[in-house]
Amino acid sequence: MATADARRRLRERPIGVTLLLTIVGYGLVVGTFVLDVPFYPDLTNEQVHVLSHAIAIINASATVLLVAGWRWIRAGEIEKHRFAMTGAFGLILLFLVVYLLRVGGGGEKYFVGPDLVYYAYLIMLAIHIVLSIVAVPVVLYALILGLTHTPAELRDTAHARVGRIAAGSWILSLVLGVVTYVLLNHAFDYTFTPTFLLPF
């Protein structure tokens, strides 16, 4: 009964729920960067490094699911598409937890390398961050519509149109995130700034 009520509310107010969840998500990230919240455990540089690897694996796995989901919906395989997209969303929630733990409990890594690579890295990182910010509401909206409507009902909603924007921005953001991870952690060097020394 409670599940049916929650589904009905989501179905009736997809934009409102999208806005609420978007604000909560943005608040968690901004709060972790700006506020000194004694919620996170203190992490060593090595632990931050391990979490960075975990984030890259999560993002790469989410990318594979998103591409598979895109291919499956184009082939008309709706249930496989739904599985892939909800799985990718679950991985992104896991990413958020690991990312906030890494930043809030450890700190941030800063790229050190040749100027040309450094500027390319910054451009890719900036595009990754902007796309990840933009993707949040469209991904949530497409997901809410997909979970609360039947396939036949979805034809009368913005799900397909919004889903294309969501998947495209999300995939590009994740790919750039993995590329910048490789540059930062494997191809070149970095400096590490603990959270309590971040300039906020």
User: Could you read off the pLDDT of 140-177 as tens digits, one per residue?
Assistant: 999 999 999 999 999 999 999 999 999 999 999 999 99
pLDDT band at 195 (very low <50, low <70, confident <90, very high): low
Say yes or no to pLDDT of 2 above 60.
no
Buried b (16+ CB within 10 A) or exposed e, 53-83: ebbbebbebbbebbbbbbebbeeeeeeebbe
If one compares 57 and 33, the residue with the highest pLDDT of the two is 57
Specify the pLDDT at position 187.
Answer: 92
Q: What is the pTM of this model?
A: 0.86
Structural domains in the chain plus CATH codes: 2-197 (1.20.120)
**Mean pLDDT, range 32-51, rounded to an integer:** 80
**CA 147/CA 130 separation, integer angstroms:** 26
Chain centroid, CA 180 distance in Å: 15
Question: How close are the terminal C-alpha atoms of the chain, in Å?
Answer: 46
